[in-house]
Structure 1
Amino acid sequence: MIVANLGAAAIAVLGLGEAGSLMARDLTRAGATVRGYDPDLHGDLSGIPLAASPAEAVRGAAVVLSVNWARVALDVARDALPHLRPGAIFADCNTAGPALKAELASLFAGGSAAFVDVAMMAPVPPLGIRVPMFLAGAGAERLAPILRRFGTPVDVVGPTAGDAAARKLTRSVFFKGMSAAIWEALEAARAAGVEEWLRADIARTLSEANAATLERIVEGTRRHARRRAHEMTDAAALLDQLGVPSTIARATAASLERVVAEQGASV
C-alpha cells in the first residue's frame, strides 16, 4: 500500500458495507484521517474511526466517498451537502445509471463542492481502495491524484457526470450477460450429462480469446443472425425439455431477431 499524507484533511466514507468498510480500512492504514458513517453498523468495522452522524463524518472532509445502494444515493448526497466544507469533493461510488449520476451532479451545480461520478471496475473485495476506477465530473481531475496516492488505478474519462457510469454499465451488459449465459449453459449441460465437457470447452474458448475473436463474434452476428436466432430457439426448447430455465437462450434469440429486423430495415 502506498502511504498518502493528506495532512489534517479528512476523508469521509459514507456507507460501511463490504466495499465501504474495506476502502475505509485501507485508507486508515495508509495514513489518511478517515471518518466512517453508516446508519446500520454491522460486520467487521475494526480499525475504522466512526462518526455519529453524516454531518459529523463529512464536516471538514476534503473528500467524501459515498459507497451505498443506488436507491439511497440521492438521500445520502442531500444529507451531506449542507455540511461540506468549501472546495470539498463528493464522489458517488454507487453502481447507478448516467441519469442518476447527472441528477446527483445537479445537486452540486453552482456550489463550491465538486461532484465526481465514480465507476469501480472490479469487485472491491479483496482489492479495497486499490480497485480500478473510472472518474467523471467536475471534480474528477482533482480526485484522481488523491486516489493515486493510495495506489488506486484511476482513469479520468471526462468532465460530464454519467460518463464513468456509462462505461461500467455497458461493460456490465457484456460481462454480467456472459456470466449469466455461462451459468444457464452449465445448468443445461448438467441436466444433459455433459457438464464436464462444456466446462472444459468454455475454459478453452476464454483462454484463446483475443481481439480477433471479438471481430469474429461481431461480424458473425451480423452475417448469421437469422440462422443463429433459429438455433437459439431450438436451444431454448431443449432447456425446456431438460427442465432448465431458458431465460438467456430466449433473450438471445429475441436479440438476434432484432438484429435481423434492423438489417432488413437498412437495406
Structure 2
Amino acid sequence: MTVPASRPVIAVLGLGEAGSLIAADLAAAGAIVRGYDPKVPAPAGVGAADSDAAAVSGASIVLSVNSAADAVDALRDSLPGLPTGTIWADLNTATPGLKERLAALGGRTVRVVDVALMSPVPGRGLRTPMTASGPAAPELAVVLGGYGASVEVLDGPVGAAATRKLLRSVFYKGLAAAVTESLEAARAAGLEEWLRGNIREELIRGDASTLDRLVDGSRRHAVRRREEMAAATELLTDLGVPPRIAPAARDVLDALIEQRPTP
C-alpha cells in the first residue's frame, strides 16, 4: 500500500456501520478524514464536523455513505462549501436514476462517481470490494487504492455500478428471501432441521452448471413447476405462513409458459 504523497482531505458523510468502518480505516492508513453524522460520533482518528457543509469544506473527495433517502439532500446541503472539481462518491445502494440525479445536481461544481459496495462492509471495512463508474471513477480508484481499497472501474456513465449491484441483489437477496420463507414454513411443519440440511447439501453440490440447469429447467418444465409452486403456496397458507416468494415463483413460471412460441 502506497499512501499518496500529497494527502487529500476526505470527507465521509454518514457514520453508520459502513461509513464508520471505512472512515476509520482511511484514517488508520494515513488519510486526513473528516466525518459527519447527526446521530453517530466520529470514530477515532476522524475529525468530527457539526454539519455536512463543515465536513466537506476544503475536501477534494467526499464519500456519501448515509442512505439513498438522504443522498440528494446531503449533496444539496454540501454544494455551497464544495470546491469546484471535488469528487463526490455516492456509496449508497440506490437506483441508477438516483445516481444520475446526483450527477445532474452536481453540475459543473462536483464530479459525481457512482460507487457500489459489492459485499458486506463489517469485517472488511475499506477493503470491501467496490465497483465505480463515471468520468472521475479512475481518479477516485487511484486515491482510495493508495490507502488499501479495492475499486474496480467500470466502463460507462454514473449509474453503471448501481445497475450491476442491483441486478446482483435480485439474485442474492431473492435467494435469501426464498430460504427464509421456506425455513419459516418448515418450522411450522416441524421439519426445519431436515430442510436446513437439504438446503446445505444443495448449496454444496452447486457448480458451474447449476445456473444453466436452473434457467433451462425452469423453461423446459414450466407447466409442472408452476403447479408445484401453486401447491406450495397453498401449503404455506395452511401452515399459517404468509406466502410471498412461493406465489412470486409461480407467477414467473406462468410468464415463462406464456412466452413459449405457439406450435
Residues 66-215 of structure 1 aligned to structure 2 (within 5 Å): 66-109=64-107, 111-215=108-212
Q: Distance in 1 between matches of 2:192 and 2:233?
A: 17
Shift of the 137–81 alpha-carbon distance from structure 1 to 2, 3 Å rule, reads same
Moved more, 192-201 or 232-241: 192-201
Q: Distance in 2 between matches of 1:33 and 1:9?
A: 7
Q: Identity across aligned pairs (percent)? A: 51
Q: Distance in 1 between matches of 2:5 and 2:136?
A: 17
SS in 1 for 2:50: coil
Correspondence for 2:15: 16
After superposition, what is the alpha-carbon deviation per residue over 1:60-98, rounded to whole angstroms, capped at 9, x for unaligned? 212100001101111111112222223221000011001
Q: Distance in 2 between matches of 1:6 and 1:211?
A: 44
Q: Distance in 1 between matches of 2:44 and 2:204?
A: 40
Q: Distance in 1 between matches of 2:114 and 2:133?
A: 5
Q: Distance in 2 between matches of 1:50 and 1:250?
A: 49
Match of 2:213 among 207, 211, 216: 216
After superposition, what is the alpha-carbon deviation per residue over 1:37-62, rounded to whole angstroms, capped at 9, x for unaligned? 112235x7333211122222112212
The question of 1:29 aligning with 2:28 is answered: yes
Shift of the 127–164 alpha-carbon distance from structure 1 to 2, 3 Å rule, reads same
Match of 1:56 among 54, 57, 64: 54
Residue identity in the other structure for 1:184: E
Unaligned segments of structure 2, at least 5 residues: none
Residue identity in the other structure for 1:105: A
**Alignment TM-score, normalising by the size of structure 1:** 0.93
SS in 1 for 2:73: helix
Unaligned segments of structure 1, at least 5 residues: none
SS in 2 for 1:164: helix
Question: Aligned residue pairs: how many?
Answer: 263
Residue identity in the other structure for 2:3: A
After superposition, what is the alpha-carbon deviation per residue over 1:3-32, rounded to whole angstroms, capped at 9, x for unaligned? 623534200001111111111111111100
SS in 2 for 1:263: coil
The question of 1:237 aligning with 2:237 is answered: no
Q: How far is 1:190 from its partner? A: 1.5
**Alignment TM-score, normalising by the size of structure 2:** 0.94
Kindly indicate whether the alpha-carbon contact (under 8 Å) linking 2:11 and 2:33 is maintained by their aligned counterparts in 1. yes
Q: Distance in 1 between matches of 2:138 and 2:86?
A: 13
Residue identity in the other structure for 2:88: F
Q: How far is 1:207 from its partner? A: 1.6
